Structure 1
Amino acid sequence: MIPVQGFQGQTVAVLGLGRSGLATVRALRAGGATVIAWDDGPTAAQLAEAEGIVLRDLTKPDAFQDVACLVTSPGIPHLYPRPHPVIAAALRAGVPVDNDIGLFFRSLAEPDWDRFDQLPRVIAVTGSNGKSTTSALIAHMLGEFGRDVQLAGNIGRGVLDIDPPEDGGIVVLELSSYQTELARSLTPDVAVFTNLSPDHLDRHGGLGGYFAAKRRLFAEGGPDRCIIGVDEVEGQMLANQLAQSPADDRVISVSCARKLGGPGWSVFARKGFLSEYRKGRQIGTIDLRAIPGLPGAHNHQNACAAYAVARTLGYAPRQIEAAFHSFAGLPHRSQTIAEVGGVRYVNDSKATNVDSARQALRAFPNIRWICGGLEKEGGLDALLDATGSVVKAYVIGREAAHFAMQLKGLDVEICTDMTRAVSRARDEAQEGDTILLAPAAASFDQYNSFEHRGDDFVNIVKDLTGVDGR
């Protein structure tokens, strides 16, 4: 646990008592704060009371009279589409609002760090797509290199739940826009921006607000080294604003769409080959095509970002290549479940939006595509140009018929449920085909989460093929 500093003897309010909220309460108490809390859900409130947490209805008048700070869980809106009533009350009362990420950064450093030969470091990863894989790949590599590494944030453990890092320890954080937009302290040593595509627009008041939430990690965090995906104009602008000159190697540009040149530091992937250039010279290359845990151009972008982090920390290209080969990938993210009779089964349930599904569709040949679910705004037109490898689509979800109508020019079968979709795809698949779950939609019409949806796919594949999966 990271005890929260700066509130000893003061009262701090916590809104939301899920995983991060409960961890925040414990960390605040460990730092000497008096904690009161509130959750709109009666079940969460009852569990909190059973743990001895003092509840106070923060919607009542004068609820913030003695409160030094309100700490809110990431999923609770504080501005758009409208502030939660408790946060609105805190704003009116002039009480600072923060989240667990802000508390983490203000509390990480300890006085006994003076005895360390090598200070702990924090690597923070944000972006629309690929941040989970990039974060996990960085942590995997550092573990392979023998470093003391912890993975936390939007993946792994909650940030305040981790152990205080020891001499030379590294914390890798995956940070969503919900987490970066509100944190009052953001001070990573290395920060990574993977890419940007429309997502959570209602929460951020549009694409500009969404980008601004990501940008805070760099503009306000002041990292020593920034690794920026430049395949969208927002990344190009961010890299431009952070660099003092074209040769400023505090900014490493990353691309999976084009060769990068110039006098600066860049890492890019083309036709399955990663290349590193510095001061106009190539100084490293890796063949990514034979690395099973990183299939497709979108994963090659993740590999470039992770490679840049490792190079920043002083590791050699050959060390990085070896670590890539031992990376198994993440569950629900381009995860190969089985190969039976020449047919590959791939679980990419994490492809909850159009852009991530688009990337998955470009990663495999001869695709039998399982898609559908709770649609996000904007429709499906933006991914239709990536469906050239789709042999047939098998649509699931409560609104499968409407989803199917948008898949113009494709052979489509409305299956509604996962069992029928996987069964039909298996029956029709031929050697060399890939049965790909990449829904391009949220899961909440039929499942509790994208993990629940992916697990269902995995279990059905195992039942139908007789393999254990992996």
Structure 2
Amino acid sequence: MIPVRGFVGDTVAVLGLGRSGLTAARALRAGGAEVVAWDDGAKGREAAEAEGFALRDLTRAGAFDGIACLVTSPGIPHLYPAPHPAIRAAWDAGVAVDNDIGLFFRSLGHEGEAPRVVAITGSNGKSTTAALLHHVLIRAHKRAHLAGNIGRGVLDLDPLGEADIVVLELSSYQTDLARSLTPDIGVFTNLSSDHLDRHAGHGGYFAAKRRLFAEGGPERAVIGVDEDEGRYLANQLSEATGDPRVIRVATGRIEAPGWQVTVRKGWLAETRMGRQVASVDLRDVPGLPGRHNHQNACCAWGAARALGLGPRDIEAGLRSYPGLPHRSQRIAERGGVVFVNDSKATNVDAAAQALQAFKDIRWICGGLMKEGGLDALRPHLGRVAKAYVIGREAEGFALALGPGIEAEVCTDMATAVARAAAEARPGETVLLAPAAASFDQYDSFEARGQDFAERVAALDD
């Protein structure tokens, strides 16, 4: 555990007692702080009490008397659509609000040299990029750790030294609030509309991502420039033409000069000042299927190069990468039909990338639709032989797909898998890429993907 520094003898409040909240409470106590804790749910309060933390209802009058800081969990709204009452009370009391990511960065370097930190954010692909970079580093015999929104809670890591490299996946909820953001390398994968209610629109969502670079000032930035926001960010971070501190990543040509990692027709190429210095054929890499995973590979390549790894070591890591569960995960092949679990495709842009990765698709989709509708999927529906729609709003989702695609309302996963498997022909892919949130039927996208995998496994019975 990393003890949180700067609060010896102070009382710090922790709001939200899930994984990150309880870990933050433990790390604060390890650093010498007195901790009071609160969760709106009885289960979280009971867990804190069981570890000896004092409870205090942070929504009551006077709750912040004597409090030095409020640490809140990422799932708790701190501004939009409305601040949690305890956060509003902290504002009124003049108490600083932070999260575990901010505590992590403020606590680095207090005992010996600080590790190098790579922080990865973006709309889609950040989990794969983080896991892939971590895998590449481990295979190259580096002391690497995966944490943040993936792997271990960031404060749950063992004490770190200068030989360590921490790979952090950070969501917009985490970057939006952290008071300290000082990574050595920042990575921005891409941007698409997501979490708009939490950030009051697309601009607020981008602003939350941008804080990692504007507030943190990383020594080097790896920026996906397929969207205008990425081009803007890369331009903002460049001090001169071809600034080597910015590595641009794209799934196509880049007009701006400088350090670039691009992928075209499955070939990754690294270019510096107009000269190609490395290339890799990604088309036969089993753990990275499709254009979106090729972009993830580019981002991981850029970060690994910024850390000083050579092309051969990185290529070896790419080729041995097994892939992440629920992200373009090939789980079975039966009678020439491949079954792929991409339950993490919880928004339209992620689902569109999944559809581009395969041909002749039997598509399992549906769930809680997000703002913006399904229009972005239409250019890719020609790859879909038929859609099998799940979710409580399955009929509405099927109608939103439009008349150009055959869609069957299945409602539940068992029916969808059975129908898709029965109708699929050799050479086709049964793809779960929902383009929607899972919370109408499941606790998480992981639970949804696991249900899909179990239904596919049961086809043998």
Indicate the TM-score class for this superposition, using the shorter chain for normalisation.
over 0.9
Give the equivalent residue in structure 2 for 1:116.
none
Are the counterparts in 1 of residues 116 and 162 from structure 2 also a CA contact under 8 Å?
no
* Aligned equivalents of 1:110, 1:464: Cα separation in 2: 55
Give the equivalent residue in structure 1 for 2:275.
281
1:262 positional shift: 4.3
1:206 positional shift: 0.8
Q: TM-score, normalised by structure 1?
A: 0.97
Query: Does residue 1:324 correspond to 2:296, yes or no?
Result: no
1:263 positional shift: 3.2
Are the counterparts in 2 of residues 262 and 280 from structure 1 also a CA contact under 8 Å?
no
Give the equivalent residue in structure 2 for 1:97.
97
Give the equivalent residue in structure 2 for 1:13.
13
2:304 to 310, 320, 326: 310
What is the SS of the residue equivalent to 2:177? coil
* Aligned equivalents of 1:406, 1:18: Cα separation in 2: 36
Query: Does residue 1:443 correspond to 2:452, yes or no?
Result: no
Give the equivalent residue in structure 2 for 1:270.
264
- Per mean C-alpha deviation after superposition, the further-off stretch among 358-367 and 457-466 is 457-466
Give the equivalent residue in structure 2 for 1:30.
30
1:261 positional shift: 4.3
5+ long unaligned stretches in structure 1: 114-118
Query: Does residue 1:245 correspond to 2:233, yes or no?
Result: no
1:167 positional shift: 4.0
* Aligned equivalents of 2:111, 2:19: Cα separation in 1: 28
Give the equivalent residue in structure 2 for 1:393.
387
1:406 to 391, 400, 407: 400
Give the equivalent residue in structure 1 for 2:228.
233
- Per mean C-alpha deviation after superposition, the further-off stretch among 23-32 and 317-326 is 317-326
Give the equivalent residue in structure 1 for 2:197.
202
Query: Does residue 1:381 correspond to 2:381, yes or no?
Result: no
Give the equivalent residue in structure 1 for 2:361.
367
1:449 positional shift: 0.5
What is the SS of the residue equivalent to 2:288? coil
1:465 positional shift: 3.6
What is the SS of the residue equivalent to 1:60? coil
Equivalent position amino acid for 1:108 in 2: L
Are the counterparts in 1 of residues 271 and 278 from structure 2 also a CA contact under 8 Å?
yes
What is the SS of the residue equivalent to 1:135? helix
1:46 positional shift: 1.6
* Aligned equivalents of 2:318, 2:348: Cα separation in 1: 27
* Aligned equivalents of 1:435, 1:458: Cα separation in 2: 11
1:230-286 deviations in Å (ceiling 9; x for gaps): 000000000000001121010000001x21244300001000000111011111100
Are the counterparts in 1 of residues 12 and 35 from structure 2 also a CA contact under 8 Å?
yes
Are the counterparts in 2 of residues 261 and 280 from structure 1 also a CA contact under 8 Å?
no
Aligned residues: 460
What is the SS of the residue equivalent to 1:112? coil
* Aligned equivalents of 1:182, 1:291: Cα separation in 2: 37
Are the counterparts in 2 of residues 81 and 202 from structure 1 also a CA contact under 8 Å?
yes
1:80-139 deviations in Å (ceiling 9; x for gaps): 1111000000001110000000000000213322xxxxx520000000000000000000
Are the counterparts in 2 of residues 193 and 227 from structure 1 also a CA contact under 8 Å?
yes
Are the counterparts in 2 of residues 59 and 86 from structure 1 also a CA contact under 8 Å?
yes
- Per mean C-alpha deviation after superposition, the further-off stretch among 148-157 and 262-271 is 262-271
* Aligned equivalents of 2:307, 2:45: Cα separation in 1: 44
1:427-454 deviations in Å (ceiling 9; x for gaps): 1111110000000011111111100000
Are the counterparts in 2 of residues 261 and 277 from structure 1 also a CA contact under 8 Å?
no
Equivalent position amino acid for 2:445 in 1: F
5+ long unaligned stretches in structure 2: none
The within-5 A match list for 1:53-452 is 53-113=53-113, 120-256=115-251, 258-408=252-402, 409-452=404-447
* Aligned equivalents of 2:427, 2:230: Cα separation in 1: 37
Are the counterparts in 2 of residues 393 and 413 from structure 1 also a CA contact under 8 Å?
yes
Query: Over aligned residues, Cα RMSD in angstroms?
Result: 0.9
Equivalent position amino acid for 2:320 in 1: S
Q: TM-score, normalised by structure 2?
A: 0.99
* Aligned equivalents of 2:255, 2:135: Cα separation in 1: 29
Are the counterparts in 2 of residues 201 and 207 from structure 1 also a CA contact under 8 Å?
yes
* Aligned equivalents of 1:262, 1:330: Cα separation in 2: 33
* Aligned equivalents of 1:172, 1:66: Cα separation in 2: 35
Are the counterparts in 1 of residues 390 and 412 from structure 2 also a CA contact under 8 Å?
yes
Equivalent position amino acid for 2:89 in 1: A
1:361 positional shift: 0.4
* Aligned equivalents of 1:429, 1:78: Cα separation in 2: 47
Are the counterparts in 2 of residues 262 and 279 from structure 1 also a CA contact under 8 Å?
no
Are the counterparts in 1 of residues 112 and 161 from structure 2 also a CA contact under 8 Å?
no
1:344-385 deviations in Å (ceiling 9; x for gaps): 100000000111001000000100000001111221112111
Are the counterparts in 2 of residues 274 and 285 from structure 1 also a CA contact under 8 Å?
yes
Give the equivalent residue in structure 2 for 1:459.
454
Equivalent position amino acid for 1:291 in 2: V
Equivalent position amino acid for 1:154 in 2: N
